[in-house]
Homo-oligomer: A and B are copies of this chain.
């Protein structure tokens, strides 16, 4: 009886925690998140070349932050029908983790002002998961 009581109390605390976490439901559909955050930010990253001023590098750095924020959101998926289920798949999470890692690679290139490393991060690390995820999920 004491065990059951303890257990019920723990369950109650647990339900409270879950209910807090449940507030983090997606506010945007994936398409809105793409149009609002990812597309403009990746355009900035992929379009960056012959960077000279600190302001130009800063713009690329900020774009990388935007993609990282988007990846943070895409971990729970979008608010449209079926998007939470898609986000729960292993492949989605893998593409998302690659996008996140690629954005951090962009930040590393920006930190040392290395345009070749930036181009490598954009084309060889960031582009593949974008393309792969689109092919896998865009028309579902």
Which A residues lie at the B interface, using CB under 8 A? 3-4, 7-8, 10-11, 14-15, 17-18, 21-24, 26-28, 32-33, 35-37, 40-41, 61-66, 68-73, 75-76, 100
Contact = CB atoms under 8 A, between A and B. Distances in A.
**Per DSSP, are chain A's interface residues mostly helix, strand or loop, or mixed?**
helix
Taking the full assembly, how many copies of this chain does it contain? 2
Contact of A65 (B7, B28, B41): B28
A28, A41, A72 — most chain B CB neighbours (10 Å): A72
Contacts of A8: 7
Nearest to A13: B14
A68 B36 contact: yes
A36 B64 contact: yes
